[in-house]
Amino acid sequence: MTDWEKYQQIRREAAYTGLALLVLILFWCWAGFGLADVEMEIFGLPLWAVTSSIGVWLFAIVLVKLLLKFVFRDMPLDEEKGAEEHE
């Protein structure tokens, strides 16, 4: 990877991380406020109390997994290795 390619990749990763944040915020709103009036109960708790805590947590873990699988790429961090390839 050249320096330029690395930077493009890093920008992409940062942008998608920001996107994941946005998606998580939307999910968070829905899982808490959105479900607050649902009458259902789980483990003796109103549905929203479960989805907005453990639900958001699990959702965040899934998001990170997706990021790592589809967006994040391994790259050499040391200068020399990158420099050899593009003189």
What residues line the site for another protein (CB under 8 A)?
Answer: 2-4, 6-7, 10-11, 13-14, 17-18, 20-21, 24-25, 28, 32-33, 36, 43-46, 48-49, 52-54, 56-57, 60-61, 63-65, 67-68, 72-75, 77-79, 86
- Smallest gap, in angstroms, from Cβ of residue 83 to another protein? 9
Q: How far is CA 67 from CA 33, 60, 87, in A?
A: 26, 10, 31
Number of other CB atoms surrounding residue 45 within 10 Å: 12
Extract the tokens encoding 12: 């992409």
Q: Could you tell me which residues are beta bridge partners of residue 42?
A: 45
Smallest separation (angstroms) from another protein to the CB of 15: 9
